[in-house]
Structure 1
């Protein structure tokens, strides 16, 4: 089966003529259900955060609401707001509990945050954009009211450190249920996220869970195989030698529901730009100079034209994990996925490596070369053990020279004002680099990154009582940039901080 998938012709996205599509229908999003009403609410910025209306719950059927909206005629802002509030339950801005002036030790504070960020199993009310979840889950915090894909792996690192293994397992079961329903893990648990995924960390989440019975292991393996099929069928690109690697994408070419106004301003009606904005969101790096044709400007975004080191490294890890699980369950699929991993590794080493720069990077399908610039994605082939020992050593040198800042690991070396660029540092990228460097014998550099980032988190916590979504690792302060204010809470920062404290023994005093 896998050989057949790998032999499929290039996707439309690879040819840069149209976005990719998926085999399954997507649930209708609020923008699709409420059309002109949604457009007006978002364009006129009725709520400061575009995600607010996307997360609102209608009080009656969409058809009834839209019929009344049509009869209402032209409404000014006050009239439109009154109509929305009469017909929708609008969520309050996301908040965490106010910080304690006493500032308990950071580890103690994080342990106290887990119950605040944990939600019970969810059966959404009729018409809600939320997706059903059969088990408990942890949200990032702030405006992020739902469970997110790649965030959750890094959150789980902290849950494991704090003895919350049952909660980790609950979240894995939720992700498996999503694959069973949609064929992949959505970006987040909202209808407007289902057309895209995020970096595929599910196999690593599963690796955290112990004591799983054979029947459950079989179901989990089925989910991984289905997720792998999604990436191979829906996100494939053909390299110059005929090798197949994957890129980020999205099944829709419209403005994102949660950032509708911003996308309209950027895309100006261009479906290709909207699809590339969505693909940038699937990458998790929304947004970064990595995805800009000119390296500077969001309007030049061309994410679907890029074959990335991080995605393909994770897929290599997934293929190895599937092969191991096939062997453990005595299924006849191990050799197939072993070959897939070996083939992918060869292609990564050929096409995503710069011998001149000593880095892994992103291959531009249009320019037919690696894009310029060192980014934290160069650590992923170390994180999943794709790189040879000699190349791993060179990447360590490059990271120390170009990405190591006084207070942690920079995301890129480009300052564009985007949140996934310099000077910001993000907890998940710290962990990926630290784990990868340790694997390749660069433990002292890994320790430098880890202890510097921990000190940054600690300083901000002492100053504000908050754990933040991102940090400025050059100035040791709150990070900035992007489409929304820096959020606090914050799931993956909590998780990575606790894992680093456990490893390096800081923050317990």
Structure 2
């Protein structure tokens, strides 16, 4: 496959569908895969997507075509006879009685993986260096998870942090972008662009030096998100680029494919069957929500309630655009170190235009938070969510709006156990009553950036207290928490997972900012964020 697919006009989705080593299981195994997924022969469809064929895929498909149709039992037996199903990540091995900090330290080796070569026909993508996985059903590296995971790696793990950055750089060079995760079925989409912040962790006292080192990859990632820029017009976005009525260029989440996700095949079919939208559009909007990392949330629903009304690609979100602002600032800073002033001027100008658009178009004066915009109607959607804090996290907010956002955060999002994801309970995992580690870090460090250390410390103490309490009761660190009641979280497409990479990383980083393990009066010092 050609390197830097975007630059070579080889799109990731085209490569994924034509190259045998990157074809997702639904294409590689055709009817066998769709039949097995529809029949739910394994409760979690990701089990099918991650299964490793025991012989050549073409031979398996040929044998299946000769035998079908099969009963559900025969289909399950055929699949199990031809594929190996690897177990989830085991994370309960650390001895009992460890402190929270020591337990997390003991988890890192259990969550560290190496995949220099993928088995033939497997959905796994090879990576040159070791990496940390989230845990549970998530046995591969994930994009935005990894930044928050890396926050908790200590000085003695600097090598592992560098390895993970190099794995992401490798994926950008190989596929033209960072996929959602290191699986073939994730190649048609990315996730929130945190790569520039990962790179900054390599040189926290001089992040621009690290950005200069990875400048080709940072520019390539920017190219991926801005592909289609010259074709976008008001009312007619192109790929991930939205041109608004005033000429501003902002971005949306998108996916290069419009079919059911391999890892949730049957679930997506059911959603499309219950929707009034065209099935292909439903699939693309579901996939775009997966690119956002917020899969799923009331943010993406027309009615604010039901997944069947999903319209993610209509939404211009503040979180994505704030991160792209940070990426543009990082590239500009890296260009200065690389002695390329013209490049620095170009990307600084892009960042300035994006910041102006964020503050002019994504600010909701009624809620006092940055908001999602429907590009079709030109109207803000009135969403009160933790995504509205992202402009503070990356420095895109202006001072007055940041102060209002802090007040709105305290009034509407602060709960017993930390920052709640949204104010609406839909049963989806990226809504109330859940809180997530990355959103705590974004909130804490964003508020610190604009001078509200008191609220930042309050959030940090509440979150660490919740994680500590649940750990004391269960011996586990979880993917998400119900922060309204300070108990384990729930909702969504799959069972609650433990491990858990980003919870471990953020919890350690916030504990490091506190004098104690979460007491209500623990002293708090704002963490240093190595962003532009």
For 1:121 and 1:329, how far apart are their aligned partners in 2?
A: 33
Partner of 1:254: 259
CA contact under 8 A between 1:361 and 1:371: conserved in structure 2? yes
CA contact under 8 A between 1:106 and 1:508: conserved in structure 2? no
What 5-or-longer segments of structure 1 have no aligned partner? 1-20
CA contact under 8 A between 1:148 and 1:189: conserved in structure 2? yes
- C-alpha displacement at 1:164, in angstroms? 1.2
Partner of 1:241: 246
Partner of 1:279: 288
* TM-score, normalised relative to structure 1: 0.93
Q: Which moved more, 1:409-418 or 1:326-335?
A: 326-335
Q: Does 1:51 align with 2:49?
A: no
Partner of 2:35: 40
CA contact under 8 A between 1:59 and 1:88: conserved in structure 2? yes
Cα distance change on mapping 1:217 and 1:439 into 2, 3 Å: closer
For 1:455 and 1:293, how far apart are their aligned partners in 2?
A: 36
CA contact under 8 A between 2:94 and 2:106: conserved in structure 1? no
Partner of 2:63: 68
Partner of 1:127: 121
For 1:213 and 1:355, how far apart are their aligned partners in 2?
A: 34
Cα distance change on mapping 1:215 and 1:394 into 2, 3 Å: closer
For 2:425 and 2:446, how far apart are their aligned partners in 1?
A: 25
- C-alpha displacement at 1:73, in angstroms? 2.4
Cα distance change on mapping 1:313 and 1:94 into 2, 3 Å: same
CA contact under 8 A between 1:454 and 1:506: conserved in structure 2? no
For 1:326 and 1:149, how far apart are their aligned partners in 2?
A: 24
Partner of 1:397: 407
- C-alpha displacement at 1:373, in angstroms? 2.4
Partner of 2:171: 178
CA contact under 8 A between 2:180 and 2:291: conserved in structure 1? yes
For 1:318 and 1:252, how far apart are their aligned partners in 2?
A: 25
For 1:404 and 1:508, how far apart are their aligned partners in 2?
A: 16
Partner of 1:108: 102
Partner of 2:312: 303
Q: Does 1:191 align with 2:167?
A: no
Q: Does 1:200 align with 2:193?
A: yes
- C-alpha displacement at 1:214, in angstroms? 11
Cα distance change on mapping 1:478 and 1:203 into 2, 3 Å: same
CA contact under 8 A between 1:468 and 1:486: conserved in structure 2? yes
Query: For 1:361-390, what per-residue CA distance to the aligned partner results, in whole angstroms no more than 9, with x for missing partners?
Result: 110112221101210011100000011111
What 5-or-longer segments of structure 2 have no aligned partner? 1-10, 17-21, 228-238, 520-532
> How many equivalent residue pairs?
487
Q: Does 1:358 align with 2:353?
A: no
Partner of 2:347: 337
- C-alpha displacement at 1:63, in angstroms? 1.4
Q: Does 1:377 align with 2:387?
A: yes
For 1:488 and 1:65, how far apart are their aligned partners in 2?
A: 34
Partner of 1:294: 303
1:438-449 to structure 2, matched below 5 A, reads: 438-449=448-459
For 1:453 and 1:219, how far apart are their aligned partners in 2?
A: 35
Partner of 2:232: none
Partner of 1:11: none
- C-alpha displacement at 1:219, in angstroms? 5.6
CA contact under 8 A between 1:99 and 1:466: conserved in structure 2? no
- C-alpha displacement at 1:239, in angstroms? 1.1
Partner of 1:91: 86
Query: For 1:190-246, what per-residue CA distance to the aligned partner results, in whole angstroms no more than 9, with x for missing partners?
Result: 000010000000000000003999998656110010000100114101112121100
- C-alpha displacement at 1:79, in angstroms? 1.2
CA contact under 8 A between 2:202 and 2:210: conserved in structure 1? no
CA contact under 8 A between 2:208 and 2:330: conserved in structure 1? no
1:1-20 to structure 2, matched below 5 A, reads: none
Partner of 1:221: 215
Partner of 2:235: none
CA contact under 8 A between 2:477 and 2:503: conserved in structure 1? yes
CA contact under 8 A between 2:88 and 2:135: conserved in structure 1? no
Query: For 1:312-339, what per-residue CA distance to the aligned partner results, in whole angstroms no more than 9, with x for missing partners?
Result: 0000000000000000011231110000
Highest relative contact order (Cα 8 Å, sep 6+), 1 or 2?
1
Cα distance change on mapping 1:508 and 1:292 into 2, 3 Å: closer
- C-alpha displacement at 1:88, in angstroms? 1.1
Query: For 1:28-68, what per-residue CA distance to the aligned partner results, in whole angstroms no more than 9, with x for missing partners?
Result: 10001111110111111111111001001112222111110
- C-alpha displacement at 1:97, in angstroms? 2.4
For 1:216 and 1:108, how far apart are their aligned partners in 2?
A: 30
Could you say what the CA RMSD is over the residues aligned between the two structures, in angstroms? 1.9
* TM-score, normalised relative to structure 2: 0.89
Cα distance change on mapping 1:132 and 1:250 into 2, 3 Å: same
For 1:354 and 1:157, how far apart are their aligned partners in 2?
A: 31
For 2:100 and 2:167, how far apart are their aligned partners in 1?
A: 29
CA contact under 8 A between 1:103 and 1:462: conserved in structure 2? no
CA contact under 8 A between 1:107 and 1:507: conserved in structure 2? no
For 1:103 and 1:393, how far apart are their aligned partners in 2?
A: 43
- C-alpha displacement at 1:93, in angstroms? 3.6
Q: Select the residue among 140, 143, 157 that pairs with 2:137.
A: 143
Partner of 1:481: 491
